[in-house]
Structure 1
């Protein structure tokens, strides 16, 4: 890696050790299939992933990447290739298994939580991939995620905000059930309709609606569902996710997988996540659980 001053978003040596094998395997496979296998690699993969993390954490436009990173066009090219080849989802999945094992859990979960979040979009997002969430009065996109009970991401689907929660949830549940055959329980909110309950039953999964207790006033964490809400809070530490800036929904999903991979890598190495929220320290706060 070049001798530049590190940014707070840069990978530490410990986190790079967790991520490097996946990126090195990707490069080896790409070069194995390429005709220029004799040519040495031109770019440092650690610097490339550091630059992508910088975008994810700060929300800066690709063209505004600091000049001590590789050229923004090169960085974006790697980001696009890694998204297309599923590298970010692979990283997220591998690190999730390591965190679960560290917590004394089975690598594959038996229960999960599904929720959706509607967000506004930037002017770079095509109108054809947007919609209106009538309930929340938001024009933009919807992020539907599935998390295990520890709040770790299992799957994500980005759609137009007009897509009904049950429709997106059905696609996600199929994906998660195929990847985790031992899944037997899912918690959702009241926005998921009867056909989603019936679909879950056909997969051998018991669906339960976790709702606020009658008469509850003010903010009260909802049993089981609070974990997925906490996950959205973790994701919001990455300014790129404050709204949807990506032209393609698949690129939005990649940014979410990368954010979760970054958080889980920090959790595995015991490192802190930088935030402005901690009054005791202007630079760091530890993300629990």
Structure 2
């Protein structure tokens, strides 16, 4: 690996040990199908992953990657390939199971929480892929996620902000039923309609709509549902998610999976995720969290 001064977003040795087997297996399988199998790869996978995490954590444009990383075109090429081939989804899933086991839970969840978040988009997002969330007065995209009761993400779906929660929720619950057959209970908020509850029931999932107490103003944590709200807060440690900068929805989903991978790897390694506003750590050369 090229020797350079580390960035706070770099993988520690402990986190790299968690991620490396998946990336090495991907490279081995890919080289096995290539004609230049005997030629050693030009770039170190850890450096590539560090560069992608740098973008996700800082929000910088790909072209603005520091020069001590591999060329931005190469880094973006790996990001696009890993997105297309589901590497970030695979990493997120494997680390989620490890975190659940570390917390004394079964690797496979039995309950989930569903919620949606509308975010503004950048100029790189095609107009056809955007919409208006009339309730929240936001022009952009909607991130619909499913988490377990620990707040660890199971599924993410990125759509235009104009897509109704129940419409996106139908796709989500179909995916949950197929990919996580152990789930038998789901909680949603009042934005989801009764027909989604009935659809979930046909799939063997008991869905409960958790309503706000009448007259409640401002933010108030709701039973069972506060965990998914906390997950959105965790994701905001990654500035790339402050708004949607990705041209394709699939790549928007990938940077969310990447953020969760980073968060869970830190959790497994016992490393703190540092807030960018923390004055005690802002000027340190290397931040272990």
- TM-score category (smaller protein): over 0.9
Q: CA deviation at 1:279?
A: 6.2
Contact 1:131–1:139, Cα closer than 8 Å, also in 2: yes
RMSD: 1.6
After superposing the two structures, state which structure 1 stretch, 3-12 or 32-41, moved more.
Answer: 32-41
1:71 and 2:71 correspond: yes
After superposing the two structures, state which structure 1 stretch, 272-281 or 175-184, moved more.
Answer: 272-281
Q: Could you tell me how far apart the structure 2 residues matched to 1:182 and 1:37 are?
A: 41
Q: Could you tell me how far apart the structure 1 residues matched to 2:30 and 2:281 are?
A: 43
After superposing the two structures, state which structure 1 stretch, 149-158 or 178-187, moved more.
Answer: 178-187
Q: Could you tell me how far apart the structure 2 residues matched to 1:175 and 1:61 are?
A: 32
Contact 1:276–1:283, Cα closer than 8 Å, also in 2: no
Q: Could you tell me how far apart the structure 2 residues matched to 1:220 and 1:279 are?
A: 29
Contact 2:57–2:237, Cα closer than 8 Å, also in 1: yes
Aligned to 2:188: 188
Q: Which runs of 5+ in 1 are unaligned?
A: none
What is the number of residues matched between the two proteins?
A: 287
Q: Could you tell me how far apart the structure 1 residues matched to 2:282 and 2:29 are?
A: 43
Q: Could you tell me how far apart the structure 1 residues matched to 2:56 and 2:5 are?
A: 19
Q: Which runs of 5+ in 2 are unaligned?
A: none
Aligned to 1:125: 125
Give secondary structure in 1 for the equivalent of 2:101. Answer: helix
Contact 2:8–2:288, Cα closer than 8 Å, also in 1: no
Give secondary structure in 2 for the equivalent of 1:47. Answer: helix
Aligned to 1:49: 49
Instruction: Map Cα deviations across residues 30-70 of structure 1 (whole Å, 9 max, x no partner).
Output: 01111111111111000000000000000000000000000
After superposing the two structures, state which structure 1 stretch, 207-216 or 177-186, moved more.
Answer: 207-216
Aligned to 2:102: 102
1:135 and 2:135 correspond: yes
1:169-184 aligned at under 5 Å gives the runs 169-184=169-184
Q: CA deviation at 1:3?
A: 1.1
1:148-187 aligned at under 5 Å gives the runs 148-187=148-187
Q: CA deviation at 1:211?
A: 2.0
1:80-99 aligned at under 5 Å gives the runs 80-99=80-99
Give secondary structure in 2 for the equivalent of 1:154. Answer: strand
Aligned to 1:230: 230
Instruction: Map Cα deviations across residues 175-209 of structure 1 (whole Å, 9 max, x no partner).
Output: 11111111110000001112101100001111111
Q: Could you tell me how far apart the structure 1 residues matched to 2:154 and 2:190 are?
A: 21
Q: Could you tell me how far apart the structure 2 residues matched to 1:269 and 1:2 are?
A: 24
Give secondary structure in 2 for the equivalent of 1:40. Answer: coil
1:39 and 2:39 correspond: yes
Distance of aligned partners of 1:222 and 1:280 in 2 relative to their CA distance in 1, 3 Å threshold: farther
After superposing the two structures, state which structure 1 stretch, 80-89 or 167-176, moved more.
Answer: 167-176
Instruction: Map Cα deviations across residues 55-105 of structure 1 (whole Å, 9 max, x no partner).
Output: 000000000000000000000000000000000000000000000000010
Contact 2:237–2:276, Cα closer than 8 Å, also in 1: no
Q: CA deviation at 1:132?
A: 0.7
Give secondary structure in 2 for the equivalent of 1:273. Answer: coil
Aligned to 1:115: 115
Give secondary structure in 2 for the equivalent of 1:253. Answer: helix
